[in-house]
Each structure stands twice: as C-alpha cells, then as structure tokens.
Amino acid sequence: SQTIHQWPATLVQPVGSPLSLECTVEGTSNPNLYWYRQAAGRGLQLLFYSVGIGQISSEVPQNLSASRPQDRQFILSSKKLLLSDSGFYLCAWSVGQGLNEKLFFGSGTQLSVL
Amino acid sequence: AQSVTQLGSHVSVSEGALVLLRCNYSSSVPPYLFWYVQYPNQGLQLLLKYTTGATLVKGINGFEAEFKKSETSFHLTKPSAHMSDAAEYFCAVSDRASNQGGKLIFGQGTELSVKP
C-alpha cells in the first residue's frame, strides 16, 4: 500500500534561518506531488506541484522553493525564513487522471517563524 | 478564477443533531467538488467528491453532500452527529479541464465541535 511521510511534525525557526521540509512517498511510482500551505485563518493554498523529477511548477510568488531530486521525494526550502512563512504545510501526492485522480495528504508540518 | 467559500469557521452541534457545513463555489465551468476532513494531528482524508452524474454524493462515515448548480453550493450534511465527527472540514474545487487534478482550491475550513 502507498504511504506518505512528512517531517518534522512541528518546527520553530527564527526569522532569517533556512528551511527544509521533506516529503517522501512509498508504494507508488511517478506520482504527482504537491505542497500546500494553510496560513492562520485561511484555506489551504497550493504552493508547488511536480509531475516528475526536476519538474517544479510554482503557483504563487513567494519566499519558498521546491525541488524533486528523486521520483518519490519532494522538498520545500527557503534560504531565509520570513514571519509570513509561518503556517501549516501539507505534502500531497496523486495518481490517475481526470475523474480517476485521487489525492492523498501527509500529516503536515506546523511551522512557526519567530 | 475559481474560489471556494465556507460559511462559518466554527460550527458546534450536539451529539445526535444534524450536521450542516456550508460550501459555495465560484467557477466559470462546472468543477469537481470535494470535501476533506482533518482529524487532530492527522493528514487530510477525502470524505466524498462530486465529478459527474448524481448530484447527491454519499461519502464515508455517514456524510453526504449535494451539488446544486443553480445555487453554486456543495453543502455537507450528516443526519446525526457523533463525537468522533469533531474535526476540521475543508471544501475544495478543482478545474475539470486541468490535467492536474491535484491542484485543488480549498475553502478556509470549518471546525466542527460536537457536544455531548
């Protein structure tokens, strides 16, 4: 069966520090991968998605970047965190297309930038 | 552009009472519609989705939602709330014309509390 691992579950970082959140998927190949963020009082917002190794699409301009060094690994990074980067970050993966596409979420990382 | 509005960031019901979580969407074309649930310290789980066909969709845990095109709504209901239903619920839409069905637009979420 497929599983998605996302870590850490919580993270407290000072402003200006770097960030690296990792997400890995097991039990499937060539998944579509996504990073979502939920800021306080707001809905989930798609940040990045990837359809293959090295292929990253950014949905919104921001202080973050994403990379996909391996088929089932998706990394969210920042060189210098801002206060506004605080939020709940969710990795997700999907398989299938159209009506048959299913999206599966990780358990999320609560990031607090102080 | 598509958007989703969930009316009420927090809903509280008594155990056994009707659960009604409201969701309205804006889309130039009929979208795919979803409800996700997030239990504490867990990832989002799909409750149900509407893609085509019957407008009343049944999901897991006794939840159902009805797609009403004329009202651009996709409200989530459950006849009788259970304590275990306490969670945060997200309504979402995706563009059926998109090749990336995982590109969802989410509402702000509604936290459901169930009182004994």
For B34-47, write each residue's pLDDT tens digit.
Answer: 999 988 877 788 89
- Say if residue B28's pLDDT is above 90: no
Per-residue model confidence (pLDDT) at position A98: 63
Taking residues B54-82, what's their average pLDDT? 94
Per-residue model confidence (pLDDT) at position A23: 95
Structure tokens at B112: 């459901």
Return the number of other C-beta atoms located less than 10 Å from residue A113's C-beta.
Answer: 19
Per-residue model confidence (pLDDT) at position A89: 94
pLDDT bracket for residue B96 (50, 70, 90)? low
A-proximal residues of B, 59-88, CB under 8 Å: none
pLDDT tens track for A70-93: 999 999 999 999 999 999 999 999
**Neighboring chain A residues of B36 at a CB cutoff of 8 Å:** 105
Taking residues A49-60, what's their average pLDDT? 90
Distance CA A64, CA B21 (A): 33
- A4 and B43 within 8 Å at the Cβ level: the answer is yes
Per-residue model confidence (pLDDT) at position B6: 94
- Say if residue A109's pLDDT is above 80: yes
Distance CA B20, CA B8 (A): 11
Q: Are B37 and B49 in contact (CB under 8 A)?
A: no
Smallest CA-to-CA distance from B46 within B30, B65, B27, B29 is with B65
3-state class (DSSP) for residue B61: helix
pLDDT bracket for residue B48 (50, 70, 90)? very high
Q: Are A41 and A52 in contact (CB under 8 A)?
A: no
Q: Is residue A88 classed exposed, middle or buried when 0-12, 13-18 and 19+ CB atoms within 10 A define those classes? A: middle
Structure tokens at B84: 């275990």
Distance CA B103, CA B84 (A): 29
pLDDT bracket for residue A7 (50, 70, 90)? confident
- A34 and B102 within 8 Å at the Cβ level: the answer is yes
- Say if residue B98's pLDDT is above 70: no
Per-residue model confidence (pLDDT) at position B90: 94
Smallest CA-to-CA distance from A59 within A74, A45, A79 is with A45
Can you tell me which residue has the tokens 């497929």? Answer: A2
Smallest CA-to-CA distance from B54 within B67, B36, B63, B64 is with B67
Of the partner residues A9, A32, A43, the one whose CB lies closest to the CB of residue B108? A43
Per-residue model confidence (pLDDT) at position B101: 62
Q: Are A66 and A76 in contact (CB under 8 A)?
A: yes
Report the residue of B6, B33, B38 to disrupt the A interface, i.e. the one with the largest count of A CBs within 10 Å: B38
Q: Is residue A8 classed exposed, middle or buried when 0-12, 13-18 and 19+ CB atoms within 10 A define those classes? A: exposed
